[in-house]
C-alpha cells in the first residue's frame, strides 16, 4: 500500500471523491503543512497555524496508480486559485500535494504539468508541491462527513457536483 496526502479546499470534498476510487482502502481527513503541533479545526480555521485541510489516502498502486490518483485530484478541484475553493477562502483551503518520496514529487510535477498542457483549466495551476512533514488526523466528526451527511446544504451544493463530475470523467477508476 502507498499513501498520498492532498489538499484541495475543504477536506470533506476531497475525501468524498477519493474514497470512491478503486484501490483506495482508506481516506482520513486531517491537517498538514503548518507549524502548530496537534492543531484543532478551530485553530486551522483561524488561519494562524499554516496548516491546510488535507486527506491522507491509502491506496494499492497495483490497482490505482499515483499518477491516476493525481489526475483525479487535479481535475476535481480548482487548482488555479490560491488559498481558495469557491466560497471557502483562506490558506487552509490551498491546493497542495504533500509528497512522501522523490518519486511522488516527480510524479506530482509531471501530472501537474500534464494537466496544464492539456488546457483542462483556463488559468495557470498554483498547486503547491512540498514534502510532507507530519500529518495530523482531524477530529472524528470530520471523518466520512459526506457519507454521513449527504443532505447537508454544503454537501448538496458543493460536494455532490464534485462526485458527479468524478463519476462522469472517471467511471473507469471507480469502485464497482
Query: Annotated active-site positions, please?
Result: 10
Q: Closest Cα to residue 138, out of 27, 4, 3?
A: 27
Residues contacting residue 119 through CB under 8 Å, at least 6 positions apart: none
- Asked if 56 contacts 1 with a C-beta cutoff of 8 angstroms, the reply is no
Report d(CA 118, CA 4) in Å as an integer: 23
In the DSSP assignment, the letter for residue 21 is B
* 84-85 vs 88-89, strand pairing mode: antiparallel
Amino acid at each position: 500500500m502507498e499513501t498520498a496526502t492532498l489538499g484541495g479546499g475543504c477536506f470533506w470534498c476531497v475525501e468524498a471523491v477519493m474514497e470512491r476510487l478503486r484501490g483506495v482502502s482508506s481516506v482520513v481527513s486531517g491537517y498538514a503543512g503548518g507549524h502548530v503541533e496537534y492543531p484543532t479545526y478551530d485553530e486551522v480555521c483561524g488561519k494562524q497555524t499554516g496548516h491546510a485541510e488535507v486527506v491522507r489516502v491509502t491506496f494499492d498502486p497495483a490497482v490505482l496508480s499515483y499518477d491516476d490518483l493525481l489526475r483525479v485530484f487535479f481535475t476535481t478541484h480548482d487548482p488555479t486559485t490560491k488559498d481558495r475553493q469557491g466560497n471557502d477562502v483562506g490558506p487552509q483551503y490551498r491546493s497542495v500535494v504533500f509528497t512522501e518520496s522523490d518519486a511522488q514529487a516527480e510524479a506530482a510535477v509531471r501530472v501537474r504539468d500534464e494537466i496544464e498542457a492539456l488546457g483542462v483549466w483556463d488559468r495557470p495551476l498554483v498547486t503547491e508541491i512540498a514534502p510532507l512533514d507530519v500529518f495530523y488526523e482531524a477530529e472524528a466528526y470530520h471523518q466520512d462527513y459526506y457519507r454521513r451527511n449527504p443532505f447537508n446544504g454544503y454537501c448538496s451544493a458543493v460536494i455532490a457536483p464534485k462526485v458527479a463530475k468524478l463519476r462522469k470523467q472517471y467511471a473507469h477508476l471507480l469502485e464497482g
